[in-house]
């Protein structure tokens, strides 16, 4: 039997436009436990096709009536795009499922939602809309949910009341540092057609999660990209519309003749146990010809030195001096070498070594000096 207060609560959070509230109340009054059949029972047939609800083993298991009523606001929430509301329980369920469908545990989702709703008194549309707006790439809606709850808990401990920060990943790292905890370093993702990075004119473009302050300035110490002497940094948002609105970010790095950029672990194989920063760009004034590259690409194509020398139109002795590092090929011969040996980029001729940095300890140590240590001109 449900109480009068519970009945009022249900009527407040279940819309008669989409659901038969009387049928729902009648069902709950005679059941001590609630099964999956309740959703099919109460959906109005003429609009049921518009609604997607949780399913058995996909966000729902048979539970007590008391628990079900407590979660009614989440189960029966229907967003309204005309009011600027979006997101849903199902989007969070789907995110959990897509990450670990073989061993999904949905209970932490409800615990977190209940905390936001009952303890922090945040309205249901605000909860789902904020989560949807903050979700992006690897930081999906379930990650945002759990991070947001932890952020609010920490804020309560240090007496900060800021429920809806512009960027949850930036705000969360801020409170972690204030509590003396280790902030999260967000690793770069893919960009374009699943590329680690792109070169567009005088910019390097990288995708991923980028903590930015209230003015949209990226915080380098929390972004897993090793940058030296960049002209500027700009973060742009790419809005995509699918089942939910998601915001993907792209970082534009302005290049100078002295710029160096490294990305972590992009060329690692399964046997690599260390974190390795691989160079992806060196500016023209800090480039040093790497003679070993010639030998590498020649041997990769199973060619003899004489064959390469003949192909580019130089004497064998001239080519041998290039491989030994005694001389450097001029621009015309460099182009010929790249053509014949199928060398994709001039960056492949630059002498540079990866940085071995297990646990990103070197990166964190650099970051302690602040953004100025990188000599970066920050621009919005």
CATH code, domain with 305:
1.10.260.40
H helical segments located in 106-194? 107-114, 124-134, 141-157, 168-178
- For residue 244, pLDDT beyond 50: no
- Let me know: does 165 contact 171? Beta carbons within 8 Å: yes
- Let me know: does 357 contact 263? Beta carbons within 8 Å: no
pLDDT of residue 370: 42
Work out how many domains the chain is built from and give that number.
4
Cα gap 209→312, rounded to integer Å: 45
Cα gap 174→213, rounded to integer Å: 10
- Whether residues 231 and 364 share a domain: the answer is yes
pLDDT of residue 19: 94
Mean pLDDT of 250-277: 91
- Whether residues 94 and 127 share a domain: the answer is yes
- Whether residues 318 and 331 share a domain: the answer is yes
CB atoms near residue 268 (< 10 Å): 14
Q: Is residue 47 part of a domain?
A: yes
- Whether residues 207 and 255 share a domain: the answer is yes
- Whether residues 40 and 177 share a domain: the answer is no
Q: Read off the DSSP letter of residue 248.
A: E
- For residue 200, pLDDT beyond 50: yes
Cα gap 28→36, rounded to integer Å: 13
pLDDT of residue 80: 85
Higher pLDDT, 55 or 1: 55
- Let me know: does 314 contact 323? Beta carbons within 8 Å: no
Cα gap 342→351, rounded to integer Å: 18
Q: Which of 76, 109, 130 is the last residue of a domain?
A: 76
Q: Which of 76, 91, 115 is the last residue of a domain?
A: 76
60 sits in which H/E element: strand 59-60
Question: How confident is residue 367, by pLDDT bands cut at 50, 70 and 90?
Answer: low
Q: Is residue 141 part of a domain?
A: yes
- Whether residues 120 and 226 share a domain: the answer is no
- For residue 371, pLDDT beyond 50: no
- Let me know: does 38 contact 27? Beta carbons within 8 Å: yes
Q: Which of 52, 76, 100 is the last residue of a domain?
A: 76
Q: 109-162, pLDDT tens digit by residue?
A: 999 999 999 999 999 999 999 999 998 777 789 999 999 999 999 999 999 889
Q: Is residue 192 part of a domain?
A: no
- Whether residues 10 and 96 share a domain: the answer is no
Higher pLDDT, 74 or 249: 74
Cα gap 368→285, rounded to integer Å: 27
Q: To 10 degrees, what angle do helices 89-99 and 124-134 make?
A: 40
Domain that holds residue 321: 289-349
Mean pLDDT of 358-365: 90
Q: Is residue 94 part of a domain?
A: yes
Q: Is residue 379 part of a domain?
A: no
Higher pLDDT, 366 or 171: 171
- Whether residues 169 and 213 share a domain: the answer is no
Q: Is residue 154 part of a domain?
A: yes
Mean pLDDT of the chain: 88
Question: Of 171-175, 359-363, 367-371, which gets the smallest average pLDDT?
Answer: 367-371
- For residue 48, pLDDT beyond 70: no
- Whether residues 141 and 156 share a domain: the answer is yes
pLDDT of residue 377: 42
pLDDT of residue 320: 93
State the virtual CA torsion across 32, 35, 41, 44 in degrees, nearest 10. Answer: 110
Question: How confident is residue 102, by pLDDT bands cut at 50, 70 and 90?
Answer: low
Q: To 10 degrees, what angle do helices 305-312 and 331-341 make?
A: 120
- Whether residues 220 and 366 share a domain: the answer is yes
Question: How confident is residue 243, by pLDDT bands cut at 50, 70 and 90?
Answer: very low
Q: Is residue 87 part of a domain?
A: yes
- Whether residues 65 and 86 share a domain: the answer is no
* Residue 46 neighbours by CB under 8 Å, 6+ apart: none
- Whether residues 210 and 114 share a domain: the answer is no
- Let me know: does 164 contact 171? Beta carbons within 8 Å: no
- Let me know: does 140 contact 99? Beta carbons within 8 Å: yes
Question: How confident is residue 104, by pLDDT bands cut at 50, 70 and 90?
Answer: confident
Q: Is residue 255 part of a domain?
A: yes
- For residue 227, pLDDT beyond 60: yes
Question: How confident is residue 376, by pLDDT bands cut at 50, 70 and 90?
Answer: very low
- Strand-pair partners of 282: 260
CB atoms near residue 257 (< 10 Å): 11
pLDDT of residue 372: 40
* Residue 270 neighbours by CB under 8 Å, 6+ apart: none
Tokens 């953004």, residue located: 371
Question: How confident is residue 36, by pLDDT bands cut at 50, 70 and 90?
Answer: very high
- Strand-pair partners of 246: 240
Q: Of 30, 115, 104, which is closest to residue 74 (Cα–Cα)?
A: 115
Reduced to 3 states (helix: H, G, I; strand: E, B; else coil), residue 233 is strand
């Amino acid at each position: 039997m449900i109480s009068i207060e519970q009945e009022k609560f249900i009527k407040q959070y279940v819309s008669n436009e989409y659901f038969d509230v009387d049928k729902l109340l009648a069902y709950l009054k005679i059941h001590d436990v609630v099964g999956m059949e309740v959703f099919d029972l109460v959906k109005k047939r003429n609009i049921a096709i518009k609604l997607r609800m949780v399913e058995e083993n996909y966000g729902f298991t048979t539970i007590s009536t008391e628990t079900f009523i407590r979660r009614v606001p989440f189960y029966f929430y229907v967003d309204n795009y005309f009011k600027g509301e979006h997101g849903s329980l199902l989007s969070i369920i789907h995110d959990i499922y897509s990450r670990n469908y073989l061993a999904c545990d949905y209970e932490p989702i409800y615990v977190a939602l209940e905390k936001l709703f009952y303890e922090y008194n945040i309205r249901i549309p605000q909860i789902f809309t904020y989560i949807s707006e903050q979700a992006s790439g690897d930081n999906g809606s379930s990650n945002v949910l759990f991070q947001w709850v932890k952020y609010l808990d920490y804020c309560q401990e240090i007496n900060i009341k800021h429920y809806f920060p512009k960027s949850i990943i930036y705000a969360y790292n801020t409170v972690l540092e204030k509590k003396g905890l280790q902030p999260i370093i967000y690793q770069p993702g893919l960009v374009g057609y699943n590329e680690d990075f792109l070169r567009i004119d005088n910019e390097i473009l990288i995708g991923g999660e980028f903590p930015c302050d209230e003015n949209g300035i990226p915080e380098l110490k929390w972004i897993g990209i090793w940058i030296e002497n960049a002209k500027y940094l700009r973060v742009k948002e790419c809005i995509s519309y699918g089942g939910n609105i998601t915001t993907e970010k792209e970082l534009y790095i302005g290049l100078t003749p002295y710029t160096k950029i490294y990305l972590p672990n992009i060329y690692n194989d399964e046997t690599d146990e260390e974190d390795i920063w691989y160079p992806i760009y060196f500016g023209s004034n800090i480039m040093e010809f790497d003679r070993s590259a010639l030998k590498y690409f020649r041997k990769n194509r199973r060619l003899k030195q004489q064959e390469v020398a003949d192909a580019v139109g130089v004497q064998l002795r001239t080519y041998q001096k290039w491989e030994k590092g005694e001389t450097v090929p001029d621009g015309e011969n460099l182009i010929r070498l790249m053509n014949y040996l199928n060398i994709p980029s001039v960056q492949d001729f630059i002498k540079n070594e990866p940085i071995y940095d297990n646990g990103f300890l070197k990166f964190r140590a650099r970051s302690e000096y602040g953004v100025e240590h990188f000599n970066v001109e920050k621009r919005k």
